[in-house]
Structure 1
Amino acid sequence: MSDSPLKVWLDRDGTLLRLRLARPKANIVDAAMIAALRQALAEHRGIPELRAALLDHEGPHFSFGASVDEHMPDQCADMLKSLHALIRDMLDFPLPLLVAIKGQCLGGGLEVAAAGSMLFAAPDAKLGQPEIKLAVFAPAASCLLPERIGQAKAEDLLFSGRSMAAEEALATGLIDNLSDDPETAALAYFDKALAPSSASTLRFAVRAAREEYRQRVTAKLERVETLYLAELMQTHDAVEGLTAFVEKRPAQWKNC
């Protein structure tokens, strides 16, 4: 459908699932986008010939992140639980999940990207978790980034809210490939490395490689989600930071 936030099709004679964020320029990871991604992954995971999925985007930016409105106290529980369900779906996806990134990849957008197997990015890519600037934290990134780039580098991104340029992201391991055309680079990787393999054996290889990683992340995600909802969102500053952003005014911290 033309009004869908996600374009979905099969490529490479039905062996590659294509997922394209289709709400440029922001490609906000809101309830509709999350639902569309979860549905596409669920509907295609059982195709016997499938060897991988590739997630990319329309427009100049991968994603500006999650919907701030959906982070407000009256909606944040539903939003967070659905986003974390998507992260678990991606970690549970039985085949490699490639991600191609240009431009900004921030907040919930980076959390979604970081749940992929391999990240291909353009030189203009900027990756970051700016949630701390709104007096909240990034739950899924708190689980995914230490696994991907190590504790110290993950803490830098999570505590500072800064964005990491593509070359630094490559050096730290946040991305795996730097290319002027990350979609083409991801397709070339698929054609050379994944397409010749047995589709059924790839599923066993993914299970074997990801089993403990997936268990660690999903277990921590449950604990961190509780921390966010039961403790963080009971503080003045978390609500104030989000409200100030929506109202386009400076936040007034009470440090509690």
Structure 2
Amino acid sequence: MSDSPLKVWLERDETLLRLRLNRPKANIVDAAMIGALQTAFEQYVGQASLRAVLLDAEGPHFSFGASVEEHLPGSCATMLRSLHQLIETMLDFPVPILVAIQGQCLGGGLEVAAAGSMLFATPDSRLGQPEIQLAVFAPAASCLLPERIGQSNAEDLLFSGRSVKGDEALTMGLVNRLAENPEEAAIAYFEKFLAPHSASSLRFAVQAVRTDVVARIKAKLASVEALYLDSLMASHDAVEGLNAFLEKRPAKWEDR
């Protein structure tokens, strides 16, 4: 179990699926992590008794983000498509996905979290999409964040690359609750508000509220992915930014 990038188990009489990122301290959302999450969601999608999923992470941080190496031109198409498949799987998942966040939740880590239903975070957590600092952009976040926090707040985070602490994330609607122990807060929410419901009727409620949102995100994600792969990755500065980060040197922008 400890060798897997993801811990998976059922609890509360098989009504709550627990998924825990298990590569501390960074919990990088790389090909192995994406594959493990995809497999888990596919395995339990038909579990009739399920009323929610709780996604959290081992260690002091939720996730530092995606693998920068996998963003390079030779591998970024495969990486992006698998990540976007996971995002769509989460958006389509028939019961609410609760996410408990501590420490840093950045880049691809925040994209995965933002595909959930409700986010619980510590007051000192740091959430952000720093991709622009490497001269790339966050495709999934470009589609998820405007729906979750509005266009203006989404543009702030995506254009600046800055991280926000828990209180600001709460104010902009990026997270739903702050708690010193977000895992406990998420479980308390589950037990009080979700566990008593019919699992069957809860599925219809999830489908009803998400139908149009999911359709919009999927349509936009396809065009944004093409923009990333066909245009951004053909630019000088995007490749320079990624290589400069990996080589631990200042990037030299040519604005092209």
Matched, 1:184 2:184: yes
Output aligned runs, 1:34-49, within 5 Å: 34-49=34-49
Deviations 1:191-216 (A, max 9, x none): 00000000000000000010000000
Q: Would you say the 8 A contact 2:28–2:109 is kept in 1? A: yes
| CA positional deviation for 1:2 | 2.4
Counterpart-to-counterpart distance in 1, 2:48 and 2:156 = 41
Q: Distance in 2 between matches of 1:150 and 1:89?
A: 23
Cα deviation, 1:104-132, whole Å, max 9, x if unaligned, reads 00000000000000000011110000000
Superposed counterparts of 1:184-223, under 5 Å: 184-223=184-223
How do 1:220-231 residues align onto structure 2 when only pairs under 5 Å count? 220-231=220-231
Unaligned runs of 5+ in 2: none
Q: Secondary structure at the match of 1:29?
A: coil
Q: Distance in 1 between the 2:235 and 2:210 partners?
A: 36
Cα distance in structure 1, aligned partners of 2:246 and 2:124: 27
The TM-score with structure 1 as length reference comes to: 0.99
Task: Name the structure 2 match of 1:2.
Answer: 2
- Opposite residue 139 of structure 1, the aligned amino acid is P
Kindly indicate whether residue 68 of structure 2 is the aligned counterpart of residue 68 of structure 1.
Answer: yes
Task: Write out the 4+ residue segments of structure 1 that deviate beyond 3 Å after TM superposition.
Answer: none
* Correspondence 1:242 to 2:242: yes
Deviation at 1:60, TM superposition (A): 0.3
SS, match of residue 127 in structure 2: strand
Aligned to 2:110: 110
What corresponds to 1:30 in structure 2? 30
Question: Identity of paired residues, percent?
Answer: 71
Q: How does 1:63-102 map to 2 (within 5 A)?
A: 63-102=63-102
1:27 counterpart SS class: coil
Give the match's secondary structure for 1:18. Answer: strand
User: How many residues are paired up?
Assistant: 256
Paired letter, 1:157: L
Please give the per-residue CA displacement for 1:148-171, whole angstroms capped at 9, x wherever unaligned. Answer: 111011000000000011000001
Secondary structure of 2:10's counterpart equals strand
What's the RMSD between the two structures over aligned residues? Answer: 0.4
Supply the AA of the counterpart residue of 1:183: E
Give the match's secondary structure for 1:73: coil
Which deviations, in whole Å up to 9, do the C-alpha atoms of 1:202-249 show, x marking residues without a partner? 000000010000000011000000000000000000000000000000
Answer yes or no: is 1:54 the counterpart of 2:54: yes
Residue 103 of structure 1, CA deviation: 0.4
- When normalised by structure 2's length, the TM-score is 0.99
Distance 1:63 1:147 in 2: 22
